């Protein structure tokens, strides 16, 4: 299933179900077929997403430092590098920011 997040203020953002549901949980919304992020809820949602990205990046940095070999030779895993959280969150945050600026809600499934 895909989630299409829509707003009258910006282009829609489409995400795979697992990614979208993770973002919805972060902002305190129940995943489901339909929903809304009201204009009043947008600032808290943006703050929660930015906090989650910061925590994820700090944890990744700690893991990278812990797994670094003492002689400077680490595992070459760049080819298998997953999408970083900020890459996933950025389009959604831009949608929220544009919506807040124009006083429009963000909806999905409608």
Residue 79 has a pLDDT of 47
Please give the pLDDT value at position 71. Answer: 56
Contacts of 44 (CB under 8 A, 6+ apart): 27, 28
pLDDT of residue 67: 77
For 14-20, the CB contacts below 8 A with 24+ separation are 15/88, 15/92, 19/88, 20/108
Query: pLDDT digit of tens for each residue in the chain (110 aa)?
Result: 899 999 999 999 999 999 999 999 999 999 999 999 999 999 999 999 999 999 988 888 887 778 775 655 545 555 455 566 788 899 999 999 999 999 999 999 98
Q: What are the C-alpha distances in Å from 58 to residues 67, 84, 91?
A: 14, 12, 21
Dist CA 12 CA 91 (whole Å): 9
Sorted by where each begins, the domain ranges of the chain are 2-64+83-108
pLDDT at residue 72, rounded to an integer = 52
Rounded alpha-carbon distances, angstroms, from residue 4 to 9, 27, 81: 14, 16, 26
């Amino acid at each position: 299933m895909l989630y299409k997040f829509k707003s009258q203020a910006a282009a829609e953002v489409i995400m795979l179900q697992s990614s979208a549901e993770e973002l919805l949980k972060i902002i305190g919304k129940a995943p489901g077929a339909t929903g809304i992020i009201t204009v009043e809820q947008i600032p808290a949602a943006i703050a929660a997403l930015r906090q989650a990205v910061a925590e994820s990046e700090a944890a990744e940095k700690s893991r990278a430092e812990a797994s670094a070999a003492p002689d400077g030779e680490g595992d070459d895993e760049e080819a298998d590098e997953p999408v970083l959280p900020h890459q996933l969150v950025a389009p959604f945050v831009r949608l929220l920011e544009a919506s807040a600026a124009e006083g429009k809600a963000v909806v999905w499934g409608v």
